[in-house]
């Protein structure tokens, strides 16, 4: 059975965490490992996660819940901690407030990408799909503005982060060897996705378009709150991967596009 490692990063997240926990618990797919990496929260976050683990352990849904709580050096340091522990075939980052669209999401992804038909070393390097944006209460707002291309490659991100981090499921063996660059405070996820795709191409692996919504993303995140700093970091990420000239041209296009 294909196994998924869902990694949830938390810090004082009691107001939004429950819908994330419920979403993972309600997945009909049995091959789920849920790693909750907490930054030593001071609110009721840990109480919620402990209760969730007890409920999961007492159920017969086949899920495994692991909780780690300690101070970290930022969200990407926490993501690396989760990645180090992940034992599934694919890793998914579903942070506090984010959630799966329905109870069959993981089941449907396995079917859509025919994952059980591949030899282990030939499985797609990335599974990706669409994202819906929700508000702080988890209510649907709109589809994400940037949409995944029919055929994704590492060069696709020259046009922006076309696949949301939460809708980008990376093969765990590749992801573990491509950890987040913690020099970036807001855009290490963009850099990580590009590097995972580049490594997948080097290995001759396909990237599977699920052609479905695979994540609901809460718009109130650190990147949204620090938009200017995030843009500067993204420029640096793109410059490193695609070169200065291409990056300048594409950013000029982003400006034009945003004013249309």
- pLDDT tens by residue, 96-119: 999 999 999 999 999 999 999 999
Residue 65, both tokens = 């819940």
Confidence of residue 259 (pLDDT cuts 50, 70, 90): very low
pLDDT of res. 220: 64
Token representation of residue 69 = 């709580």
Percent of the chain whose predicted confidence (pLDDT) is above 70: 94
Question: Tokens 């429950």, residue?
Answer: 18
Contacts of 176 (CB under 8 A, 6+ apart): 83, 84, 86
CB 25 within 8 A of CB 63: yes
Distances (CA, A) of 248 to 143, 145, 162, 230, 235: 28, 22, 18, 16, 9
The confidence band for 225, taking pLDDT boundaries of 50, 70 and 90, is low
pLDDT at position 224: 53
- Entry pTM: 0.92
Question: Phi/psi class of residue 213: alpha, beta or left (left: φ > 0; alpha: ψ in -120 to 50)?
Answer: beta
**What average pLDDT does this structure show over 77-91?**
98
């Amino acid at each position: 059975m294909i196994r998924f490692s869902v990694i949830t990063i938390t810090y004082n997240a009691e107001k939004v965490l429950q819908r994330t926990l419920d979403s993972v618990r309600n997945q009909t797919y049995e091959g789920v490992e849920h790693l909750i990496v907490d930054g030593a929260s001071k609110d009721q976050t840990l109480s919620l996660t402990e209760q969730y683990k007890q409920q999961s352990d007492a159920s017969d849904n086949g899920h495994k819940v692991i909780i780690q709580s300690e101070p970290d050096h930022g969200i990407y340091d926490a993501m690396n901690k989760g990645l180090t522990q992940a034992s599934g075939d694919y890793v998914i980052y579903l942070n506090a407030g984010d959630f799966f669209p329905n109870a069959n999401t993981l089941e449907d992804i396995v079917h859509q990408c025919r994952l059980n038909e591949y030899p282990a070393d030939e499985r797609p390097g990335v599974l990706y799909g669409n994202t819906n944006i929700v508000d702080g209460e988890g209510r649907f707002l709109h589809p994400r503005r940037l949409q995944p291309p029919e055929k994704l490659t590492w060069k696709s991100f020259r046009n922006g982060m076309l696949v949301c981090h939460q809708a980008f499921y990376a093969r765990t063996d590749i992801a573990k060897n491509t950890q987040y660059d913690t020099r970036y405070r807001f855009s290490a996820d963009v850099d990580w996705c590009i590097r995972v795709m580049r490594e997948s191409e080097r290995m001759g692996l396909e990237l599977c378009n699920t052609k479905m919504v695979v994540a609901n993303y809460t718009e109130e995140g650190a990147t949204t709150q620090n938009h200017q700093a995030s843009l500067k970091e993204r420029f640096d990420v793109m410059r490193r991967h695609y070169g200065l000239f291409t990056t300048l041209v594409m950013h000029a296009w982003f400006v034009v596009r945003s004013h249309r």
